[in-house]
Structure 1
């Protein structure tokens, strides 16, 4: 299905002009091999064949020094069986293509320095013209002039674009894997902290990052801040985008360090500490391997920041840094109750839908502001269609589409550990996230436009967790996050029958009535088995390593 763009004329009247992406295959005369360039055309002038082999290969008449708006600009010999390439401006598309057609042209390429728009006309003009007219970018025209000689030829065609690209599989694996690993890591780290607190040994934990419990006020402040930032980006994008890039580089460096340190600290090399000094952040004499790892993480982030526009390989660094950033945030930020999870997901659900579906109506490019930010996972299209050069050559998934549901998955894992429920909440919520992502891909294929992923991810994850809690009859505890709130003295989650591990009180009658327990005999004691035993805590803490 080909991409289409709607152009709005005036404030009272709306006229839809259908523009379609096609390809212009340039080559030197007599040479079959060449290079494809993106063009934008209106099939109401004339349609293009879908196959390159069925397209006519015609010679280009380079008239890029002219705009072809008057007969005086037409060469004496005309354009017999050729395709003139002219600049855009000074007159309508109809005037240009009419001059080209009456002088024998077989098509028209209009070079545009601005963004490509559909070459529009009216019904009468469409009926009069029977040659194709298409727009070519000025950058591509410069590349064509450098690559091919004066006798270059062109064949214009418009292949069908595949509904779904194979890169969706890569994005699916990265997103679901990040959510699953981040949620599991966050829950295991939480139980490790409980075990260390139980052992009254905080020495190791003091070296680790502290968690941040999210409150409703923090959620409201976060959403308001995000909305403000996006509005400011719309107004001052050319300046603030560099601030966003710097913030992402710093945050991703910390995230990459946090993810790699558990592996590096197992390496028996570089344990020696640096000499005593007064340098910032080094006065505690960190290990040499810590400094080497920190320098490596900063170098990776800076490399991406400098070469972020290199489409061939920079996306790999961006995805690696993005995944590390998401894992770090999932490990650090903690939602203490399912109530907080619901509030956060619902608010960001509305936020995502608004900025994806509504803001394009107010932007000059007709695209959502969030598409232009670096806070996304991106994978280049892997299909063989040359249309991958047009439109947007990458498939994108925002970090928020991973982080927001991931916080719920992490909450489910912590609740599983406290309830000793064999991670049923964690698995169910992770599967719900995967199903929601698949629904997002299907909606993307059917609607052929960017989709707010949270529109599908939020219902799938929230409803799945809610159904599991109802099925297990644990909704009150799951909703209030019993055991997660700091102010609570960690009460028992489930009131279980008392287990008596010693002999009961002596009888008051019978042969044993006069028997008195010896000093060495144990007295009556009972235990509540609900809190996780030390052995289970130790096992979970060991797994989190």
Structure 2
């Protein structure tokens, strides 16, 4: 036990350790004003200070009229002790650096109209360069020159960022909150349905309206096959289908948000005022909620590429979408849960780990579809990075992930906002099992909610393990690879230990014609209306 604790502590220390990235900050000032700009350097070649206070300050000299492949036309007295800005091109980075170094310069900035890439050179050239070297955007230098004029002072530094970013904690809270609330909602709805069915057939139809149940293994297989086909189509026809998915998401998320808010209003006991127009009755509360939900969805649709703040709306709509999906789609028994989750685990692993061997850019189909055409930028070769030198038109991305910006990657966010992401499927798929466990607790009248709480705990452990492996390996993980075994095995063990595996495996008595479901109440237990709340 003590050894396991030590290993865990070491893992936490490793994850919390700092990393040096290739993005850095150029701080320019003139005594009265200052501004920060994105630069890209090679930390293993010409390391920079980690803090602004420790960074050397040098006068910044404009030499963008030359590429500095040789010293012709440049006076050593003019550049000695200064940071030089020259244009990219005509010769290697190391050659420019050696020329600047020979002239007595203290640092070299290379202005680029092309993408900023991590500076590199032949192995024999690395030891020859002893001054800081970095690339900056040409347009940034022109903007700085216009803002500061003459007398610019430059400092270059590369603040490290923590591997264990607070955004991961926020993502963890979003995931567990959504799964728990979805399970609670399903359990409460099942209690209402049972109460309605025991009180009379009239209320059962209302409780079941809008709910779909997966009860056939064949239908599950067909569903997974359709998901595979859709993913492949998205990969090959992304630029066309992405707009269709965006429209569908706006409609579905607005509907889901309405359902969630309406349920909250009912829970709070908020009444509603109805009025009639031409023999049609309208609810004032429903109209107001519908207007709010449609407005939120439209705002997201219009500003979906504003990375700095739109992620808040996307996550809000995503939570509502996942909750409504878990409420609407129900798995009729544990057998269906095992088949569906197992197939989707294979689906996730195949499209994340196997497909990179078949794609041209070496990026998995899952990542390419989830992150859009720019996904190749997420794949780095060693420690190499590539940042656009000019403003790029925003690329459309599928609204299929929760996004939270990294809070400690200051230099990286200056070069382009970075996000921690979690796919909706990593919440919905295990969430369907959690919802089934919650309903099963209702069917057996379990006041301790043993199945629901056990499955939620397993999901929490699984998602923590997923993030831990991601941080330790430095690459994205198919979360279902960890979530599915944790949740399925835990649920099966609980059912086995309680001697209820047969009931748990078979679930409800399901009739295809009328989709009626009956509670599985053990002998000796009351079948009176259940009033316990989640």
TM-score, structure 2 normalization? 0.80
CA 249–489 in structure 1, closer or farther in 2 if over 3 Å, else same: closer
Larger displacement relative to structure 2 (64-73 or 100-109): 64-73
Report the CA distance between 1:63 and its aligned residue: 4.2
Q: Which residue number in structure 2 is paired with residue 453 of structure 1?
A: 479
Cα RMSD, aligned residues only: 3.2
Q: Which residue number in structure 2 is paired with residue 477 of structure 1?
A: 503
**SS in structure 1 at match of 2:460:** helix
Partner residue of 1:405 out of 426, 430, 442: 430
Which structure ranks higher in relative contact order (CA pairs < 8 Å, sequence separation ≥ 6)? 2
Give yes or no for contact 2:437–2:452 (8 Å, CA) kept in 1: yes
Instruction: Report 1:354-433 matches (<5 A).
Output: 354-358=350-354, 362=359, 364=361, 368-369=367-368, 370-372=370-372, 373-383=398-408, 386-389=411-414, 393-421=418-446, 422-433=448-459
Give yes or no for contact 1:440–1:451 (8 Å, CA) kept in 2: yes
Q: Which residue number in structure 2 is paired with residue 292 of structure 1?
A: 288
Instruction: Report 1:34-113 matches (<5 A).
Output: 34-64=34-64, 67-69=67-69, 79-113=79-113
**1:181 partnered with 2:181:** yes
Give yes or no for contact 1:264–1:289 (8 Å, CA) kept in 2: no
Distance 2:164 2:221 in 1: 36
Q: Which residue number in structure 2 is paired with residue 247 of structure 1?
A: 248
Give yes or no for contact 1:336–1:485 (8 Å, CA) kept in 2: no
CA 205–137 in structure 1, closer or farther in 2 if over 3 Å, else same: farther
Larger displacement relative to structure 2 (370-379 or 468-477): 370-379
Unaligned stretches of 5+ residues in structure 2: 1-16, 373-397
**1:533 partnered with 2:527:** yes
Report the CA distance between 1:139 and its aligned residue: 6.3
Report the CA distance between 1:287 and its aligned residue: 2.2
Partner residue of 2:275 out of 259, 272, 275: 272
CA 145–343 in structure 1, closer or farther in 2 if over 3 Å, else same: farther
Q: Which residue number in structure 2 is paired with residue 306 of structure 1?
A: 302
Deviation string 1:116-139 (CA, Å, 9 cap, x unpaired) is 432221111112222222233456
CA 366–329 in structure 1, closer or farther in 2 if over 3 Å, else same: same
Distance 1:170 1:489 in 2: 40
Distance 1:338 1:468 in 2: 12
CA 119–448 in structure 1, closer or farther in 2 if over 3 Å, else same: same
Report the CA distance between 1:234 and its aligned residue: 3.8
Distance 1:80 1:232 in 2: 59
Give yes or no for contact 1:26–1:152 (8 Å, CA) kept in 2: no
Higher helix share: 2
**SS in structure 1 at match of 2:304:** coil
CA 493–186 in structure 1, closer or farther in 2 if over 3 Å, else same: closer
Distance 2:286 2:206 in 1: 16
Give yes or no for contact 1:24–1:154 (8 Å, CA) kept in 2: no
Distance 1:198 1:130 in 2: 82
Distance 1:257 1:223 in 2: 28
Distance 2:505 2:119 in 1: 57
Report the CA distance between 1:387 and its aligned residue: 4.4
Instruction: Report 1:183-198 matches (<5 A).
Output: 183-198=183-198
Q: Which residue number in structure 2 is paired with residue 463 of structure 1?
A: 489
Larger displacement relative to structure 2 (63-72 or 95-104): 63-72
Deviation string 1:347-388 (CA, Å, 9 cap, x unpaired) is 222333344445566464958222343222122233385445
Distance 2:467 2:110 in 1: 35
**1:328 partnered with 2:340:** no
Deviation string 1:311-335 (CA, Å, 9 cap, x unpaired) is 3322211111111111100000011
**1:350 partnered with 2:349:** no
Report the CA distance between 1:142 and its aligned residue: 6.0
Distance 2:146 2:245 in 1: 36
Deviation string 1:388-445 (CA, Å, 9 cap, x unpaired) is 5457532211111110110000000111111122310000000111111121222233
Distance 2:427 2:414 in 1: 27
Report the CA distance between 1:149 and its aligned residue: 3.5
**SS in structure 2 at match of 1:37:** strand
Bigger Rg, structure 1 or 2: 1
Give yes or no for contact 1:337–1:484 (8 Å, CA) kept in 2: no
Deviation string 1:446-485 (CA, Å, 9 cap, x unpaired) is 2233222222212211111111111112222212224356
TM-score, structure 1 normalization? 0.79
Q: Which residue number in structure 2 is paired with residue 262 of structure 1?
A: 263
Larger displacement relative to structure 2 (475-484 or 52-61): 475-484
Distance 2:237 2:89 in 1: 28
Q: Which residue number in structure 1 is paired with residue 4 of structure 2?
A: none
Partner residue of 2:333 out of 332, 337, 351: 337
